[in-house]
Amino acid sequence: MTQLHIPHHVPCIIQGQATQGLADSFAVLNPATERIIALCSSPSAEQIEYTISTAQHALSTWQHSDEATRKAVLMRIALGIEQHADELAQLIVQEQGKPLSLAHTEVAAAIAWTRYQASLDLSPEVLQDDAEKRIELHHRPMGIVVSITPWNWPLMIAIWHIMPALRAGNVVINKPSEYTPLATAKLVQIMQRELPAGVVSILTGDAETGAQLSQHPLVNKIVFTGSIQTGLKIKQHTAASFKHLTLELGGNDAGIVLPDSDLDKIAARIFNAAFINMGQTCAALKRVYVHESQYAALSQRLANLAETQILGDGLAPETTFGPVQNAKHYQKVKQLITEACTEGAQVLTTAQPLPAQGYFIAPTILIHVNAKSRVVQEEQFGPVLPILSYQNVEQVLTELQHSDYALGASIWSSDIDKAQRYIQHLNCGTVWLNTHAEVLPHVPFGGWKHSGLGVQFGQQGLLENTLSQVIHIHKG
């Protein structure tokens, strides 16, 4: 197993320079070993102010850069990420816990997303052009964008936040999760080679750093991926200043397996959609409703797949399943499983040997679950999947309509036409048929209700980083 040498102290990047934070330092742990792998320092309030002022200065030039310049810069950044792919993947494994193969997938996705953003066009749209009048719609930069990123996909979600903002002519200050700042810091370091100083900065720190950034009067937009609770705080704190928001606040995605489904075809797809990144994915499948005629058979297939997983350090070549990312969340997921079992649920998977250290929970299939259990009603965001039996699919659809979560859902069936008739009854941002958790750079993605505001990805996601300006030209 190769252990990557990680700098003892990871600095902020302010005005293009590595800068030691002047507030408290904090440790970054490897969740597979519970060992400290790096120290980071939080910026002082004065350093945060300085970062914002340097971003404001950089904006005065960057917002007027032309389309060709921005596209070329993003393409060079993508190349830089590609050149450091191995280092980035190992950083992700050590700070986040996922297996190395999945970390490489995350890096590859980051490269692809960056190149896709570079390909998009923001030319003015002509709304009218006749003998008397020409009307044009222009897409202008918003200004300073603050990006607050989570710990589950630290590199990829930073790319989702930063690249469209840059492509639109904004400047960005990123505040990564204090659990996983290393790969994001490396990304921003790579970006400094291609960007004027101050266009992209990174401030490592805790919630106080994020709060000072998000409430600052010079900040024009917040893009945040994380919990509903934090998203609501951001929304409340920014309401008076009318900041623009893009919030992706997670989901409790349900899958409905119709009784005509071919279980041999879909079982592995359902398992992978539920346990991708050890279940720590906003769009992962969080609960599955199965017709009573197939309930036992599908549950057993999923349990069999769970028992093939090899738990361990993500840098070990045999590992297929890593740890939960941090101790606090590990305790939460364990508690949800314990509560569900107290309320009558049964763990179908057999006990698997776990590493002696680390925040490991084996992939857990729960059957006979009380529909009111927290593991069903809340987003567990971990390696546990409750399976619920139903008789009438209309009752399931009605139940799902009352959920505050509305990110995604899926229907599984051998009859596509029949499955499509149920889509209109699913109140959520994305519906998948015979797949789940598939997000693509050219396809808008976002939640309804408490699952978020706005969308990311595609042309629509890019435009969320712009302000519309209409120009009327009278020719007479």
* DSSP conformation class of 126: E
Helix (H, G, I), strand (E, B) or coil at 142: coil
CA 153 to chain centre: 6
Crossing angle (nearest 10°) for helices 207-215 and 228-238? 30
Q: What is the pLDDT of residues 103-142, one digit of tens each?
A: 999 999 999 999 999 999 999 999 999 999 999 999 999 9
Task: Please report which confidence band the pLDDT of residue 280 belongs to, taking 50, 70 and 90 as the band edges.
Answer: very high
Q: What is the pLDDT of residues 57-105, one digit of tens each?
A: 999 999 999 999 999 999 999 999 999 999 999 999 999 999 999 999 9
Mean pLDDT of 325-349: 98
Task: Please report which confidence band the pLDDT of residue 339 belongs to, taking 50, 70 and 90 as the band edges.
Answer: very high
Q: What is the pLDDT of residues 403-415, one digit of tens each?
A: 999 999 999 999 9
Q: State the pLDDT at residue 187.
A: 98
Query: 12, 40, 106, 282: which is the annotated catalytic residue?
Result: 282
Q: State the pLDDT at residue 312.
A: 97
Average pLDDT, the chain: 96
> Is the pLDDT confidence value at 2 over 50?
no
Task: Please report which confidence band the pLDDT of residue 5 belongs to, taking 50, 70 and 90 as the band edges.
Answer: low
Task: Please report which confidence band the pLDDT of residue 351 belongs to, taking 50, 70 and 90 as the band edges.
Answer: confident
The Cα–Cα gap between 443 and 340 comes to: 36
The Cα–Cα gap between 365 and 363 comes to: 7
The Cα–Cα gap between 381 and 324 comes to: 9
Q: State the pLDDT at residue 476.
A: 80
Task: Please report which confidence band the pLDDT of residue 8 belongs to, taking 50, 70 and 90 as the band edges.
Answer: low
Say how many residues make up the chain.
476
CA 399 to chain centre: 26
**pLDDT above 90 covers what percent of the chain?**
96
Q: State the pLDDT at residue 143.
A: 98
SS3 labels along 307-356: CCCCECCCCCCCCCECCCCCHHHHHHHHHHHHHHHHCCCEECCCCCCCCC
* DSSP conformation class of 178: T
Residue 12 annotated in active site: no
Residue 194 annotated in active site: no
Mean pLDDT of 452-469: 98
CB proximity list for 261: less than 8 A, separation 6 or greater = 294, 412, 413, 414
Q: State the pLDDT at residue 350.
A: 86
Task: Please report which confidence band the pLDDT of residue 1 belongs to, taking 50, 70 and 90 as the band edges.
Answer: very low
Query: 95, 106, 248, 379: which is the annotated catalytic residue?
Result: 248
> Is the pLDDT confidence value at 243 over 50?
yes
Domains belonging to the chain, first-starting first, are: 9-249+451-471 (3.40.605.10), 254-440 (3.40.309.10)
Q: What is the pLDDT of residues 418-450, one digit of tens each?
A: 999 999 999 999 999 999 999 999 999 999 999
Q: State the pLDDT at residue 322.
A: 98
Q: State the pLDDT at residue 9.
A: 84
Give 5 or 200, the one with higher predicted confidence: 200
This prediction's pTM: 0.96
> Is the pLDDT confidence value at 261 over 80?
yes
DSSP 191-231: HHTTS-TTSEEE----HHHHHHHHH-TT--EEEEES-HHHH
